[in-house]
Structure 1
Amino acid sequence: MRLKEGLTVRKVGKDYVIVSPEQGMVDMSKVYTLNETAAWLWEQLDGKDFEVDDMIALVREQYDVDALSDDELKKDMLDLIQFFKDNALIIQ
């Protein structure tokens, strides 16, 4: 799968939002907020083909998540993928 092209993550205050740089007027009904980890993952995956296992490996390398089992981390990544799918932010 791959993230939808032409979108970028911007930090706005304490939040991270997905925006379309070429969009003249921002449609506030289509603003997607991410937490810091999801925003970091977006940046790492942007422009690349990836699978759930790639996401897990990236998170394990970057963050101290040793207390999380692979199953817990996989569930979190699948939830994030589902959010991306539900909002048409991912291409399969």
Structure 2
Amino acid sequence: MKLRSDLVLRTIGSDHLIVDPSQEMVDLSTVYTLNSTAAWLWEQLKEKEFDTATIVKLLCENYEVEEEQAQSDAKVLLGDFEKQGLLEK
């Protein structure tokens, strides 16, 4: 799977937002907020093919987290990305 290539991560202060830069006016109903870990993952994954195992590996290598917890977190993150339409079809 891949992240949608038409979306851009913007950081404003401590807020991380996914926006569609093709919009003439920002429609706040289509802006998605990410926490700092999800924003970091977005940057690591953009323009790449990935799966749950890729996310688990990134989390375990860069954060002090057990593989079981990383597995659970990766599933939640991917579920949210899919639900919000942030993945390419």
TM-score normalised by the chain length of structure 2: 0.91
Task: Please list every run of 5 or more consecutive structure 1 residues that lacks an aligned counterpart in the other structure.
Answer: none
1:11 is paired with a residue whose SS is: strand
Residues in 1 aligned to 2:68 and 2:61: alpha-carbon distance in whole angstroms: 17
1:71-90 matches, within 5 Å, as: 71-90=68-87
- Structure 1 vs Structure 2 CA RMSD: 1.2
**What percentage of residue pairs aligned between the two structures are identical?**
43
Deviations 1:31-85 (A, max 9, x none): 10000000000011001100101111111222222xx2x2221111110001001
TM-score normalised by the chain length of structure 1: 0.89
Please say if residues 9 and 18 of structure 2, whose CA atoms lie closer than 8 Å, have aligned partners that are also in contact.
yes
Residues in 2 aligned to 1:72 and 1:63: alpha-carbon distance in whole angstroms: 11
Task: Please list every run of 5 or more consecutive structure 2 residues that lacks an aligned counterpart in the other structure.
Answer: none
Residues in 1 aligned to 2:84 and 2:75: alpha-carbon distance in whole angstroms: 14
Number of aligned residue pairs: give it.
89
Residues in 2 aligned to 1:60 and 1:6: alpha-carbon distance in whole angstroms: 28
Q: Could you list the runs of 4 or more consecutive aligned residues of structure 1 that deviate by over 2 angstroms after TM superposition?
A: none
